[in-house]
């Protein structure tokens, strides 16, 4: 994606962001992410985040906090070192009111990582994010800004309402947490879709079953999870959840962090199509 936009290009993005959404059409959330990134370059990341966060959006700082309240504490202004990012994967609910984007970010030419953004269509038709965050990576992503974003295939089942979806997903989260307390790898594999993506370590996001297995092996063998929140599409086919995580590290010390997940309703039942585990950085001494 070009890092500067013409007036015509920005107008097209804004038209896509506010246009009526067809079932599983990911173009609006891809356009929203690209416009968000363009504002980051033009205005600085703080101003861009303020303009794109929903009133109920959350970030981890390091605990879950209201994004707008947290951003209000920070000064706006152009960044001395540019923060750039671009989407390479996206998904959309069949009801066209909730979606997500994922992709690489770069801090100048030295800091790298991946973001994950959950988008919700607002009453005025605009798209705002309700979650944004992701891990740092040790290497630069091989997928550049010109990468055409891949799309999650549409859901093949729906619960019929957001309330019904969250009730079903909450039960699955409880089952996953119960098993993960003794065998995290088996718990994940029991719920992950074959095309799921998993990230959280300094390695590149896992996008194949083999890479997912490798990424899971980097996590502790036992994990303690506690759900904290989430929301679902009005069709009941896509759900976002987040919560706290705790584990014993290879150093024998207690560690903690947070998880973020996307569940999709399929003919075989709800499947986990995205999971990230974000450790809380150790406290500075």
Q: 151: burial class by Cβ within 10 Å (0-12, 13-18, 19+)?
A: middle
Pairing state between β 83-85 and 89-92: unpaired
Look at residues 16, 156, 15, 38 and name the one whose alpha carbon lies nearest to residue 87. Answer: 38
Which residues, 6+ apart, have CB-to-CB distance to 186 below 8 Å? 179
CATH code of domain 7-151: 3.10.450.50
CB 98 within 8 A of CB 120: yes
The 10s digit of each residue's pLDDT in 57-97 is 999 999 999 999 999 999 999 999 999 999 999 999 999 99
Hey, what are 245's tokens? 């995580």
Residues 6 or more apart whose Cβ sits within 8 Å of residue 151: 24, 26, 89, 90, 91, 92
Q: pLDDT averaged over the chain?
A: 92
Going by their DSSP bridges, the two strands 150-151 and 192-199 should be labelled as: unpaired
Domain with CATH 3.10.450.50 in the chain: 7-151, 162-279
pLDDT single digits (tens) 94-109: 999 999 999 999 999 9
pTM: 0.91
242-266 tens-digit pLDDT? 999 999 999 999 999 999 999 999 9
* Band (284; pLDDT cuts 50, 70, 90): confident
162-279, CATH topology level: Nuclear Transport Factor 2; Chain: A, (3.10.450)
Nearest to 119 by CA among 45, 34, 191, 194: 34
For residue 236 the two structure tokens come to 């009941």
């Amino acid at each position: 994606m070009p890092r500067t936009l013409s007036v015509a290009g920005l107008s097209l993005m804004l038209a896509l962001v506010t246009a009526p959404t067809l079932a599983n059409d990911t173009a609006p959330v891809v356009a929203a992410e690209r416009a968000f990134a363009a504002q980051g370059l033009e205005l600085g990341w703080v101003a861009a985040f303020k303009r794109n966060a929903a009133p109920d959006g959350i970030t981890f700082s390091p605990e879950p906090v209201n994004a707008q309240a947290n951003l209000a504490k920070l000064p706006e202004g152009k960044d001395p070192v540019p923060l750039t990012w671009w989407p390479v994967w996206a998904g959309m609910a069949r009801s066209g009111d909730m979606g997500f984007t994922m992709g690489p970010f770069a801090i100048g030419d030295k800091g790298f990582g991946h973001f994950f953004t959950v988008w919700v269509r607002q009453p005025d038709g605009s798209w705002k994010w309700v979650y944004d965050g992701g891990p740092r990576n040790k290497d630069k992503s091989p997928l550049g800004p010109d990468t055409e974003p891949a799309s999650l295939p549409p859901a093949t089942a729906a619960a019929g309402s957001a309330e019904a979806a969250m009730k079903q997903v909450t039960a699955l989260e409880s089952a996953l947490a119960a098993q993960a307390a003794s065998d995290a790898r088996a718990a994940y594999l029991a719920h992950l879709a074959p095309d799921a993506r998993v990230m959280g370590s300094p390695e590149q996001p896992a996008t194949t079953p083999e890479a997912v297995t490798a990424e899971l092996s980097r996590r502790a063998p036992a994990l303690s999870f506690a759900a904290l929140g989430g929301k679902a599409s009005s069709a009941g086919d896509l759900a976002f959840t987040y919560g706290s995580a705790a584990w014993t590290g290879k150093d024998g010390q207690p560690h903690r962090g947070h998880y973020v997940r996307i569940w999709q309703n399929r003919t075989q039942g709800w499947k986990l199509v995205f999971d990230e585990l974000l450790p809380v950085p150790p406290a500075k001494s």
